[in-house]
């Protein structure tokens, strides 16, 4: 996963809480065509910022992600 805007790397600081949005969409699409994932960064003062990210996971990589590893993929 990469940030769409390199300047967004400076938004995240130590002790920030980070949540993701868009993982289910990535899974359901099987990683086809790449896609967007949003990182929701909650700062210590409660301020929330969203960072647009892109993933380049292939169909196999998405399957590995869902199953926890490549070893578990065919179980």
pLDDT at residue 72 in the model: 62
Tell me how far apart the terminal alpha carbons of the chain are, to the nearest angstrom: 26
74 found inside a domain: no
Phi and psi, residue 14, nearest 5°: -55, 140
Average pLDDT over residues 55-72: 77
pLDDT in tens, 9-48: 999 999 999 999 888 887 777 766 567 889 999 999 999 9
d(CA 34, CA 7): 21
Number of domains forming the structure of the chain: 1
54 found inside a domain: yes
23 found inside a domain: yes
Q: Global pTM?
A: 0.72
Domain housing 11: 2-67
31 found inside a domain: yes
72 found inside a domain: no
pLDDT at residue 6 in the model: 92
Q: Please determine, for residue 73, whether its predicted confidence score (pLDDT) is greater than 70.
A: no
CA 58 to chain centre: 14
């Amino acid at each position: 996963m990469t940030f769409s805007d390199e300047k967004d790397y400076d938004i995240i600081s130590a002790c920030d809480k980070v949540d993701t949005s868009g993982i289910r969409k990535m899974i359901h699409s099987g990683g086809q065509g790449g896609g967007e994932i949003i990182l929701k960064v909650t700062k210590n003062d409660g301020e929330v910022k969203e960072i647009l990210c892109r993933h380049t996971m292939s169909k196999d990589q998405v399957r590995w992600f869902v199953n926890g590893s490549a070893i578990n993929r065919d179980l």
